[in-house]
């Protein structure tokens, strides 16, 4: 049983996850952000690997990645930072990165580092299903790593059911067919999409992401799923107020 499955045994409603970019706003902020998020009471943390050519990220997260790269962040430093907080952190971490990062670093080396850091769940949004089935499923199983798949409003029912059969953590329900970033209120079209997915009665837990930014959008998303992920809104706040006021962002959402 992976860390996310254990989390769902303890709590399966209104889960809040926060995405942040390693090495932002400053190179050495990674461990501080994780520590402050844990203190603030988030349920799990999505650890973003800065990447120069992200496919799914909007301007806010792209800018944070660029700043982190300018700060000198790289995968070796990220893994060192995550190793340094492993013994003191009790909040499940999910690593989010891109396929080319794993390929360039070395697949086995990457997987071993992930496990060494105490992480057992990854999100690789550009990992093709056929590549997962033909190669990465076996690789991840070898290291005890669980892959999280994303679905969008355009994902076919057949593919959703296939993803459901492979899922061992949760299905990432992308709230809109666009890049990340706060979009304001959740639209009636999005609610219809959430209702359609909920009506499928999938075996997997559902976590909504993309466009979740405050208590209102978080609460709405949780009406149709087990929880939600906030990314861009948190990154914006982090850039403005720094790592010492993270609780001021989280508390109004979960209170």
Active site residues: 46, 57
State how far the Cα of 224 lies from the Cα of 126, in Å rounded to an integer: 25
CB atoms within 10 A of CB 142: 11
HEC assignment per residue over the chain:
CCHHHHHHHHCCCCEEEEEEECCCCCHHHHHHHHHHHHHHCCCEEEEECCCCCCCCCCHHHHHHHHHHHHHCCCHHHHHHHHHHHCCCCCCCEEEECCHHHHHHHCHHHHHHHHHHCCCCEEECCCCCHHHHHHHHHHHHHHHCCEEECEECCCCCHHHHHHHHHHCCCCEEEECCCCCCCCCCCCCHHHHHHHHHHHHCCCCCCEEEECCCCCHHHHHHHHCCCCEEEECHHHHHHHHHHCHHHHHHHHHHHHC
Helix axes 107-116, 75-85, angle to 10 degrees: 20
């Amino acid at each position: 049983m992976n860390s996310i499955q254990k989390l769902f045994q303890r709590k399966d409603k209104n889960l809040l996850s926060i995405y942040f970019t390693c090495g932002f706003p400053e190179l050495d902020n990674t461990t501080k952000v994780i520590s402050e998020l844990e203190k603030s009471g988030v349920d799990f943390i999505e650890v973003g690997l800065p990447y120069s050519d992200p496919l799914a990220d909007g301007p806010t997260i792209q800018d944070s990645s660029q700043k982190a790269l300018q700060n000198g962040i790289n995968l070796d430093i990220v893994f060192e930072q995550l190793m340094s907080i492993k013994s003191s952190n009790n909040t499940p971490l999910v690593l989010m990165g891109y396929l080319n990062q794993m390929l360039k670093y070395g697949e086995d080396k990457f997987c071993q580092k992930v496990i060494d850091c105490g992480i057992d769940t990854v999100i690789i949004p550009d990992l093709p299903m056929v590549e997962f089935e033909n190669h990465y499923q076996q690789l991840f199983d070898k290291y005890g790593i669980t892959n999280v798949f994303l679905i969008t409003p355009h994902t076919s029912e057949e593919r959703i059911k296939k993803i459901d059969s492979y899922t061992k953590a949760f299905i990432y329900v992308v709230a809109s067919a666009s890049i990340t970033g706060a979009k304001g209120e959740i639209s009636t079209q999005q609610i219809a999409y959430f209702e359609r997915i909920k009506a499928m009665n999938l075996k997997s837990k559902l976590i909504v992401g993309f466009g979740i930014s405050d208590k209102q959008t978080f609460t709405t998303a949780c009406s149709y799923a087990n929880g939600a992920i906030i990314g861009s809104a948190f990154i914006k706040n982090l850039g403005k107020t720094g790592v010492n006021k993270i609780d001021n962002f989280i508390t109004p959402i979960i209170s």
